Amino acid sequence: MRVISIAIPKGGEGKTTTAVNLAASLAAAEKKTLLIDADTLGASGISLGYTADQVKSGLYDVFNYTHALNRVICKTELTYLDFIPSNISTVQMEERLLRLSENRTVMRMALRDVENQYDYVIIDCPPMLRGITTNALCASNSVIIPMRASHFSLDAVMRLMRYLKWIREVANPQIYVEGILMTMFEPNTKIAEITGRELRSRYSKFLFKVVIPKNSTLAEAAFYGRPVLLYNINSKGAQAYFELATEIISRESAAGGFNAMSEGSPLTEPSAYGQVSGSAGNAPRTDQF
Ligand SMILES: Nc1ncnc2c1ncn2[C@@H]1O[C@H](COP(=O)(O)OP(=O)(O)OP(=O)(O)O)[C@@H](O)[C@H]1O
Ligand SMILES: [Mg+2]
């Protein structure tokens, strides 16, 4: 089982869209997949057609130790895709979840319950770097960083890279960057060109080959509560997320499975804008999950 967090400490970068549609594409490739909505706003649930009144239990109960993770799993329209909603309905619950997630190992321990049930676990994180995001990163093998073309997004990537370095030092030495994913991409625009250039100079080894184009069908599908492949499978958005899933699956098989892959994927962190330090993350790592 591979656990992948979708994270960046900035709103509106395409985390939820990526989490939902990557999970659906993995499921369409007959990989048993669990999508966890770790954002208290519950956007992943909404994107899968779950309304607040349909959600009786969820991630809050896992953190509150009232239910085991197994008991809060929901089915979806896709046979291979299961889902855990975020059932936070009040500010008090949100505050309590923040306190409960101070124990960084809750998610990691809870996922042991389903270790043999899934090929992939995809976690949709909120746009911040504390609380439940820390918990998700501590439970993850890797992280996908979605970002749109903008200066502030580059800044957020850099903050996340620093945070990952800290996570590796204090809690999860195995975590690595699965890739940086350009979302809402508009070719032939100045901002796409500048952002692309900056990304290649600082993070070229982390860039996914595939980019997700700006495609209104992705937003429409979320509005109708369906992953895009069940809404319009021929859309550019659906095809791009299929490609992303294929890239992730084929990397894993090319590396001979996850254990082999985690050995050679160092996390490096730029020491300053425009300067990439190669020494930050070369410690060997092994898979504990
Ligand atoms: N490739 C795309 N093309 C067009 N619209 C998109 C694309 N990806 C995402 N969107 C839209 O952009 C908005 C933000 O996307 P999304 O909710 O996935 O971001 P997020 O990073 O999860 O945001 P938050 O941090 O607030 O949770 C949504 O309305 C979504 O439908
Ligand atoms: Mg979101």
125-145 confidence digits (pLDDT tens): 999 998 999 999 999 999 999
Between the CA of 196 and the centroid of ligand 1 the distance, in Å, is 19
Give the domain 2-266 fold.
Answer: Rossmann fold (3.40.50)
- Which of the residue ranges 18-32, 157-171, 173-187, 260-274 would you say has the lowest mean pLDDT? 260-274
Range 163-170, long-range pairs (CB < 8 A, 24+ positions): 163/9, 163/129, 163/137, 164/137, 164/267, 164/269, 165/267, 165/269, 165/280, 165/281, 167/134, 167/137, 167/138, 168/267, 168/281
Q: Candidates 17, 25, 48, 181: which one to mutate for ligand 1, based on the most atoms within 8 Å of Cβ? A: 17
241-274 confidence digits (pLDDT tens): 999 999 999 987 776 555 444 433 444 444 333 3
Length of the chain: 289
- Average model confidence (pLDDT) for the chain? 88
Atom of ligand 1 nearest to the CA of 20: 18
For the chain, domain boundaries: 2-266
215-230 confidence digits (pLDDT tens): 999 999 999 999 999 9
